[in-house]
A = this chain, B = another copy of it.
Amino acid sequence: MDTSVPGRPETKLQARILTRLRDAGPRSRIELVDHFEVSRTTMGAELGRLTAMGLIAEIGPAASRGGRRSTVIDIAGDIRFVAIAVDTGAVSVAITDGRLRIVAFERTECDVRQGPEPVLELAAERARGLLAKAGVDRPLGVGVGVPCPVDFRRGITVATPVMPGWDGYPVRDLLGRWFECPVVLDNDVNVMALGEQHAGAARTVENFLFVKIGAGVGCGIVAKGELYRGMDGCAGDIGHIQVADSDAVCACGNSGCLEATFGGEALARDALEAVRSGRSPMLGELLERDGTLNAAAVAEAVAAGDATSLQLVRTGGRRVGEVLSGLVSFFNPSLIVLGGGLAVLGHVLLAEIRSVIYRRSLPLATKNLPIVLSDVGEHAAVIGAARLVSDEAYGVPR
């Protein structure tokens, strides 16, 4: 494989050509001329420069439309991105091609609370292994998703009580030195939303919400086809929206926050409490068997007919639904995708969330609103992380 490093796009049009090829697949020269409303000369010059940079390649003749034959252009076949998705309990690493198709994937258990160095070293080691196996010297970029707030412009992680040691850590610069290429860092919810947009149910919609119910609750927002981060990059922080009937104290210092009442942490707490108070002998058996109680255990108990577990899931779903129904009125999305660890609770949770949203929101906003579980699953975060850094590598203006 050629070891020369591709160049960086210089114009907005070059960036738009590259992202068009990435998202829509190979296109003929004529189709690109028509799509971007530029002259053949301008398009020819831009494609020439992108070819010289090693970013695109001709892959064959186009079907004839009469007149001179056009050629089909694709992203260069040897381009590779590294995608790293850090979760609270594991690190996923993928290698993708220039159109973000996964060519290698590896998931390793790993506790994020160890702090950034061991986690990032593990991720980098796995990435180097996958790159070496694929014969790639240097990726075109590294995209990273982490389960905590991020200062997107500076590429650093931001304080969170549950991840000691990560506050202000220069993830972007460190990985940039290690891999000698552009690195882009964002929070896990945003990269998962991008993954859903690129490869999931959200592929065909312009405005959607990706709701992650994991240890906490967060939301990725795509408006008019683009990720919306808000002023400080903390848009979608819905875990701290207040729910109506709760005084549960939250790690943020307020009470009644959504994620203090439902989410992986809250569900584990409530399941333990149900065992201690004797309300669920079945959860008690599962606790004895596994030594701990998590969402999967609650899902198992629900499937086995445990009424207390069913009630925990329904109450949680109702609270998520109440918050989301307000957001549906505000944002009028075309789609809501649910993902994260608590997606294991499946259709029981989904049905409760749906019923609250359909009941509480105005008919105009919900008449065409699908609310679905993610079908990209564990790949959403790495595909989204690759997409994020591909924007950078393809010269998309921030």
* Residues of A bordering B, CB below 8 Å: 11-12, 37, 149, 158, 205-207, 219, 221, 223-224, 226, 228-238, 240-242, 244, 252, 254, 322-323, 325-327, 329-334, 360-362, 364-365, 367-369
Q: Which of B223, B234, B326, B361 sits near A326, CB closer than 8 Å?
A: B326
Q: Would you call A230 and B327 a contact (CB within 8 A)?
A: no
Q: List, sorted by A's number, 15 A–B pairs whose CB atoms are closer than 8 Å.
A: A158-B364, A207-B228, A207-B230, A224-B228, A230-B333, A231-B369, A235-B330, A236-B332, A238-B326, A238-B329, A238-B330, A242-B322, A242-B360, A254-B360, A330-B330
Residues of B within 8 A of A238 (CB): 326, 329-330
Q: Which of B231, B252, B327, B331 sits near A334, CB closer than 8 Å?
A: B231
Known interface pairs A242-B322, A326-B323. Does A234 touch B360 (Cβ–Cβ under 8 Å)?
Answer: no
| In the complex, residue of chain B having the shortest beta-carbon distance to the beta carbon of A231 | B334
Main secondary structure of the interface of A (DSSP, over half): loop
Give, as a whole number of angstroms, the nearest-CB distance from A258 to chain B.
9
| In the complex, residue of chain B having the shortest beta-carbon distance to the beta carbon of A208 | B231
A42 to B368, CA, bound (A): 44
Q: Would you call B331 and A230 a contact (CB within 8 A)?
A: yes
Q: Which 9 A-B pairs have the closest CB atoms?
A: A230-B332, A235-B332, A231-B334, A241-B326, A237-B329, A244-B244, A234-B364, A234-B332, A223-B223
A369 to B207, CA, bound (A): 25
| In the complex, residue of chain B having the shortest beta-carbon distance to the beta carbon of A322 | B242
A219 to B193, CA, bound (A): 25
Known interface pairs A11-B37, A224-B223. Does A365 touch B326 (Cβ–Cβ under 8 Å)?
Answer: no
Give, as a whole number of angstroms, the nearest-CB distance from A396 to chain B.
13
**Other than the known A223-B224, A254-B360, A326-B326, what 5 A-B pairs have Cβ atoms closer than 8 Å?**
A230-B331, A235-B331, A237-B362, A237-B365, A323-B326
Residues of B within 8 A of A322 (CB): 242
Residues of B within 8 A of A206 (CB): 231
A338 to B365, CA, bound (A): 24
Give, as a whole number of angstroms, the nearest-CB distance from A319 to chain B.
12
